[in-house]
Amino acid sequence: MEADSILNPTQFIGSFEWREPVTTLTDFLVALVCWTAFYFFQRQKSSSHVSYPWFRSYFLVFAIGMTSAAWLGHGFQAYVSPKTKMIGWICGATGIGFLQMGSLRAIEELIKPSLRKVLPYVFFFEWLVAVSLMIGLFDFRVTQVNSAFGLVGLVLPMHIYRYLKTKKAGSKWIIGALAYSLIPGIVYSNQISISRWFNYHDISHVLMAVFMTFMFMGLHRIISPNSTN
């Protein structure tokens, strides 16, 4: 089955052309989860945790990126350039960078000063390479590879290390969330679909909304005032 044959049929509201309507709404569902998470983080301004500004920025940038991906990357594609998809991709790479920095701040007292100094450069170099390739190649696979490397290759080991050293539940939630994230990745990569009205894009988006909920539950535990997580 060709890729286009499984996309949601375009719908018309009067003369307005709405492409991939279910995909638009399920993508926006992920954005709504991120906006909600950002709202709750905003309410925790009293948190003095060193990771707080980084995790708050993670949800904000992802909320912006997923909103753009939903409407500019799918729903309004009849009216905007395909290049607008890169807004969501670049926001995703930036959000992962914020998550990496917040995770590093959460473990900085547990690691050597030399490692604490070098890792931000690693994160920035990863972001720079990813964004450069996104712009140069205009290929969503760059986003997939960057997400896998940034989350599984860098964020996951930091939280495994934190959990092994401290047994704090916040990192345990993050470890579980990142393990769960393999599921939407498998669905997307194998194009597992139910129908044109609920295809692999839509299924993976719903699963991603659950993933972001798990991430919120873990990260919120880490930064909450008086938290032992």
Where residue 67 sits, what CATH number does that domain have? 1.20.1070
- Residue 31 covered by a domain: yes
Whole-number percent of the chain with pLDDT over 90: 93
Q: How confident is the model at residue 183 (pLDDT cuts 50, 70, 90)?
A: very high
- Residue 34 covered by a domain: yes
Domain containing 37 equals: 3-223
**CA 132 to each of CA 57, 97, 135, 143, 202: distance values in angstroms, whole numbers, following the listed order:** 22, 15, 5, 11, 28
pTM comes to 0.94
- Residue 14 covered by a domain: yes
Q: Over the stretch 32-59, which tens digit does the pLDDT of each residue have?
A: 999 999 999 999 887 889 999 999 999 9
- Residue 68 covered by a domain: yes
Q: Over the stretch 185-214, which tens digit does the pLDDT of each residue have?
A: 999 999 999 999 999 999 999 999 999 999
Cα atoms in the Cβ-side hemisphere of radius 13 Å centred on 76: 13
- Residue 228 covered by a domain: no
Residue 228 has pLDDT above 70, yes or no: no
Q: How many domains are there within the chain?
A: 1
- Residue 61 covered by a domain: yes
